[in-house]
Structure 1
Amino acid sequence: MGIALSKEATERLSALAERMANELPYRLWTHPADYHITLHFLGETPAERVDAIAAAAEAAAAGRAPLALALGEPGTFGPAGAPRVLWCGVREPGAAAGALAALQAALGERLTASAGFVPEARPYRAHITLARKGGPGGGPDAAARAWRSAVRALEPDEAGAFAWTAGSITLFRTHLGRRPSYERLHEFPFHGAGE
C-alpha cells in the first residue's frame, strides 16, 4: 500500500538513478515502474482480506487533500560500510509538511481496526527504494556525492522539477521474480480538503 509517483517524477528519478548506478556498488536497481512511497507493507495477504484493506484505504483517503511531494536527498539502510538498500528521500514542500506521516498513521489505524493488520513498530520514514544489495563504497556519503553529481549533470530547473502532486493511495501486488514486479490493483483518490 503506497503512493505512486507521477510520470514526470518517475522519469526524473530514473535518470538520476541511471547516473548513480555508474558510481555506486549496488547489484539490484529498482525498475522505474516500481518506484513508489510505501505507506504500509502488508506482506502475503489472503484474498478474503482484500475488501477490508480496500475499505480502510478508501476511508483513509476520503478526508485527505492531494499531497505536494518532492524528491529529497538519498539515504541508505544497513551498515554504512556496506548498506543493503539505497533510497531517495521524500520532502513535503509548503504548508502540508507532515501530511504524509499523518496519512500513514491514519491508514495504519484503519488497517488494524478493519483488516487485522499489525503495523511495523519502527518509525515511519518516507522513501523510494532505488537499489538493493549494496557493497563497500555504497554508504551514505558516497550516495550523497553520486546524487549531487547526477543532479548537476541533469541540470534541473529551480521551479520544481523534482516535485509532483499525489492524488491517491495505491494498493500494489508484488510479483516476485518479475521486472517490473509491482502491479497496481486499486487506486483510492484523495477527496477532502484535509483533516
Structure 2
Amino acid sequence: MSQTHYFIAVPIDSKVKEKIFNWNEREKPPFKRLVHKQDYHITLVFLGGIGESLLKELQKELNKVVTIHAAFTLTIDELGIFGPQNRPRIFWAGVKKEEKLFELQKAIFQTCTDLGVEVDKRSYNPHITLARKYSGDDPYVSDHRNASFQSYMESETWQVSNIVIYRTNLDKVPKYEVVASFPLKSS
C-alpha cells in the first residue's frame, strides 16, 4: 500500500469548476487523462507523505495563518503547459496575478518549512491542472485552444474565502478528499 499524500490548496468555486469542465469536454484537448472536475484546485504547498502528528500540528498553525490573511478574488486567465513544448505532461488553466494569493502561499510555505516539512522550492506558479499526458500525434500547438478558452471563460472570477488540506486517494474518483478547511479573514 502506498503512503497517503497531502497538500494545501485553494478550492475552486463550483460554478467555475463547471464552466472549466464544460469547456474541457467541448474542446477535448488531446491528453490521456482529463482531471475530474471535483479535483480542480490551486495548490499552495505540496506536503507529500507526512505523519498524523505533523498533520495535526500543521492544522493548528494554519488556523493562525488564516487569521491574518483576508479573503480575495481570483480571475481565470489563460492556458499553459508544463513539460516539453511539443509533448507536454500537464495542461493547465492559470489565474491573473493576485498578490494576496502569493502572500498567502509564502506564509503557508514558511509555516511548513518551520515545522520541518520538506517542500518544493521552485518558484510558485498558481494553476488549475486540467489534463495530463499529451496524446496527440503531432507536436502540441495551443493557439486556438487559448483563444477559445479566454473567450469562453471571459474574466470568470470567484471569491477565495478558505484554504483546505486535501488527502490524495489514488484508488478513487474524484481522488482528492478535504481533510480540513480554514476560513480566511473576511475582507
Q: TM-score, normalised by structure 2?
A: 0.88
One-letter amino acid of the structure 1 residue matched with residue 59 of structure 2: A
Q: The residue matched to 2:48 in structure 1 has which SS?
A: coil
The Cα RMSD (Å) is: 1.8
CA distance in 2, matches of 1:112, 1:151: 36
**Cα shift at 1:71:** 1.1
Aligned to 1:81: 86
Match in the other structure for 2:148: 149
Partner of 2:128: 128
What amino acid does structure 2 have at the position aligned with 1:48? S
Counterpart-to-counterpart distance in 2, 1:172 and 1:124: 19
By how many angstroms is 1:138 displaced? 6.4
Q: Give yes or no for contact 1:26–1:138 (8 Å, CA) kept in 2.
A: no
Contact 2:62/2:108 (8 A) holds in 1: yes
Count of aligned pairs: 179
Say whether residues 1:106 and 2:100 are aligned partners: no
- SS of the residue 1:83 aligns to: coil
Deviation at 1:148, TM superposition (A): 2.4
From 162, 165, 174, the counterpart of 1:168: 162
Q: 1:62–1:76: structure 2 CA closer, same or farther, 3 Å change rule?
A: same
Residue 12 of structure 1 aligns to a residue whose secondary structure is helix
Asked whether 1:11 is paired with 2:10, we answer no
More strand by share: 2
Structure 1 runs of 4+ with >3 Å offset: 135-139
CA contact (8 A) 1:83 1:135 kept: no
Match of 1:45 in 2: 50
Give TM-score scaled by structure 1 length. Answer: 0.84
Amino acid at match of 1:112: T
Distance 1:53 1:15 in 2: 35
Question: Gaps spanning 5+ residues in structure 1: where?
Answer: none
Amino acid at match of 1:16: W
**Equivalent position SS for 2:86:** coil
Deviation of residue 150 (structure 1)?
A: 4.8
3-state DSSP class of the match of 1:28? strand
1:178 to 149, 172, 179: 172
Once residues 104 and 83 of structure 2 are traced to their aligned partners in structure 1, the CA distance between those partners, rounded to angstroms, is: 26
Distance 1:44 1:62 in 2: 26
Gaps of 5+ in 2: 1-7
- Percentage of matched positions with identical amino acids: 30
